[in-house]
């Protein structure tokens, strides 16, 4: 356990300065900033995302686990985490012929994972992502809640 904590601490310390520099640089580069979610999210924008899921274990609520917007994380809710989409954005996700509508209520996943979307365990179950753990999903922005 101590080894895992040490690794996570090292990752946090080495990643944080790079992320802070990235954020600082993005304020000064208009072409870079235009690629981020500072622009309005329009309905029916579509893209693909490498998605994973989070929320495991037998408990419905993870102890003391709050999402970035302050609500208590419920792994069975139809929610997702994205680094830049505005909180409350509703997305239609499609994977392997199955679709589900989720609401962005958290930030993540970490840049170094190579994924751009984390969905709750409930959404992953309905999509069929549980077995593989990750997958390319089709994402349609359908508005804000």
Q: Are residues 55 and 116 in the same domain?
A: yes
Q: Are residues 17 and 83 in the same domain?
A: no
Report how many domains make up the chain.
2
pLDDT digits (tens, 9 = 90+) for 38-70: 344 445 568 999 999 988 765 555 556 889 999
pLDDT for res 59: 53
* Tokens standing for residue 66: 């709050």
Would strands 61-66 and 46-54 be described as parallel, antiparallel, or unpaired? unpaired
Reported as a pLDDT band with limits 50, 70 and 90, residue 125 is very high
Render 27-63 in DSSP notation, one character per residue: HH-HHHHTTSTTSPPPTT-EEEEEEEEE--SS-SEEE
Q: If you average pLDDT over every residue of the chain, what do you get?
A: 75
pLDDT for res 65: 83
Q: Are residues 56 and 95 in the same domain?
A: yes
Q: Are residues 20 and 72 in the same domain?
A: no
Contact at 8 Å (CB) between 72 and 66? yes
The reported pTM is: 0.67
Q: Are residues 119 and 94 in the same domain?
A: yes
């Amino acid at each position: 356990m101590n080894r895992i904590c040490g690794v996570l601490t090292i990752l946090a310390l080495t990643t944080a300065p790079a992320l802070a520099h990235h954020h600082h640089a993005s304020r000064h580069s208009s072409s870079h900033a235009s690629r981020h979610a500072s622009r309005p999210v329009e309905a029916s924008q579509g893209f693909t995302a490498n998605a994973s899921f989070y929320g495991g274990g037998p408990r419905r609520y993870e102890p003391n686990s709050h999402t970035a917007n302050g609500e208590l994380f419920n792994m069975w809710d139809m929610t997702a985490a994205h680094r830049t989409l505005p909180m409350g954005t509703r997305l239609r996700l499609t994977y392997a012929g199955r679709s589900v509508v989720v609401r962005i209520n958290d930030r993540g996943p970490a840049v170094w994972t190579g994924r751009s979307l984390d969905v709750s365990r409930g959404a992953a179950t309905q999509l069929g992502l549980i077995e593989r753990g990750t997958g390319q999903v089709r994402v349609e922005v359908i508005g804000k809640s």
